[in-house]
Amino acid sequence: MNKLRNIFLLIALISLSIIDLQFWDTAISNFLFWEFRFPRVVGAAITGIGLSFSGLLMQTLFRNSLAGPYLIGISPGATFGMALFIFFSSAFSFSFEISPLWGSTIGAFSALGLQLLINRGFEHTHRLLLTGLVLGFVFSAATELMQYFGNNEQLREFTFWGMGNFERIEIEHLLSISIPVITGIVLVYFFKHSLDCYLLGDDYAQASGVNPIKIKNLLIWTGAIIAGWLTAYAGPIGFIGLVGPHIAKRLYKTESHSKIMLPAILWGGILAVGADCIAHYSIPGILLPINPISSLIGAPILIISFIRKQNRN
């Protein structure tokens, strides 16, 4: 039954991608298709898959379905890094060329580095949570301050990046965004049973021969690398990381990683490609920003899910 469901999800993702790619659109030239449309749609699918996977890892880490990369300061860190790049890159001249994509990734890693420095490891999740909240506030405040002093061009660049879109993903980027996502998924897949044990508590995990500290390190580093890297390319896209795993858990009525990992990432891909479709085709000729769309899709799904759970209880 689950296999059938997964196949259905895969077909849904591919169909949605075909709609987004519009294979029947003969007016589009080969150049436009391969340089712009194909990388955008495939990039959206990979980003959705990666964000949802990263969200799943964070939810496992905190044993909480509302967790996401923002909770330990990764997303605010990535945004801060991008802001730093946009507002200050012109003030310094480097002997080598720096891609703006590095700004966000370095920001995400800075958040992680600070977590590591302050908490001397990732052992205590409640301390990670508190530090993450504080770091989130600090990074947001620093970002706001930079915006205050930014000029019109910089503000425009940063605002558009913050709205999120998959337009900037080029065909050469597809490989570089796929590698951390695929590596992360494959790596975590080998630990799927250990993750299930970890979900039942540190003591239970230890009794089952699973080292919870090792698992926490795996979850944090994998989740942070994927979220930070993808945020650099697509901007801070909300709700996909939260909703993808949430839908999978609700539909499969389990938190077992061997069962929900695949549907969770497929749902992430479906949500991202769906949001991209809406952004491009809901108002002909006009491009809408992804972030508000993903939030408008994601928020009602979460609310309905909460209401249904409440009614069932």
Partner 1 sequence: MILFFGILGCQQKNQNQPSKKINWISADYAKLFKIGIIESDTLLKIFFVNGKEIATYHLGDNPNSFPDAIHINRKNKLAVSSSIFARFLTELDLGDSIVAIDNLNFLHSSIKSQLQNPIEIQPSGELQLETLINCKPDVFFVYTLNAEGIPAFTRLQKKNIPVIYIQNHQENHPLARAEWIKVFGLITDRLERANKIFKQVDSTYSSLLAKQNTQKSRTMINAPYSGNWMVPNRNNYFSKLMVDANLQCSWQEDKIKQEQLSYTISLESAVNYLLMSDIWINVGSYENIESLIKSESRIQHILQANTDLKIFQNNKQQEVSGANSYWDLGSTHPEILLKDLININLGKTDSLHFYIQIR
CB contact burial 191-229 (16+ within 10 A = b; e otherwise): beebbbbbbeebeebeeeebebeebbebbbbbbbbbbbb
Kindly state whether residue 141 participates in binding partner 1, applying the rule CB under 8 A: no
For the chain, what is the largest distance between any 2 Cα atoms, rounded to a whole number of angstroms? 62
Q: What residues between 80 and 109 interact with partner 1 by CB under 8 A?
A: 97
Q: CB 29 → partner 1: shortest distance, Å?
A: 8
Give pairs for 285-292: CB < 8 Å, separation 24+: 287/165, 287/167, 289/160, 289/163, 289/164, 289/165, 290/163, 290/164, 290/165, 290/166, 290/234, 290/235, 290/237, 291/162, 291/163, 291/164, 291/235, 291/236, 291/237, 291/238, 292/163
Q: CB 209 → partner 1: shortest distance, Å?
A: 48
Q: Which of 88, 124, 170, 256 binds partner 1 (CB under 8 A)?
A: 170
Kindly state whether residue 32 participates in binding partner 1, applying the rule CB under 8 A: yes
Kindly state whether residue 167 participates in binding partner 1, applying the rule CB under 8 A: yes
Kindly state whether residue 166 participates in binding partner 1, applying the rule CB under 8 A: yes
Kindly state whether residue 285 participates in binding partner 1, applying the rule CB under 8 A: yes
Size of the site for partner 1 (CB under 8 A): 33
Q: Which of 216, 246, 259, 280 binds partner 1 (CB under 8 A)?
A: 280
Q: CB 30 → partner 1: shortest distance, Å?
A: 11
Q: Residue 209 is encoded by which pair of tokens?
A: 């021969």
Residue 148: how many other CB atoms lie within 10 Å: 9
CB 267 within 8 A of CB 247: yes
Rounded CA gap, 31 and 292, in Å? 30
Site mask for partner 1 (CB under 8 A), range 223-242, x = bound: ------------x-------
Stretch near partner 1 under the rule CB under 8 A, chosen from 35-43, 206-214, 259-267, 302-310: 35-43
Kindly state whether residue 153 participates in binding partner 1, applying the rule CB under 8 A: yes
Kindly state whether residue 161 participates in binding partner 1, applying the rule CB under 8 A: yes
Q: CB 83 → partner 1: shortest distance, Å?
A: 12
Residue 20: how many other CB atoms lie within 10 Å: 23
**Tokens 């065909």 found at:** 171
Q: Which of 24, 94, 96, 148 binds partner 1 (CB under 8 A)?
A: 148
Please give the single-letter amino acid code of residue 161: W
Q: CB 131 → partner 1: shortest distance, Å?
A: 30
Kindly state whether residue 286 participates in binding partner 1, applying the rule CB under 8 A: yes
Binding site for partner 1 (CB under 8 A): 28-29, 31-32, 35-37, 40, 97, 148-149, 151, 153, 156-158, 160-161, 163, 165-168, 170, 235, 280, 283-289
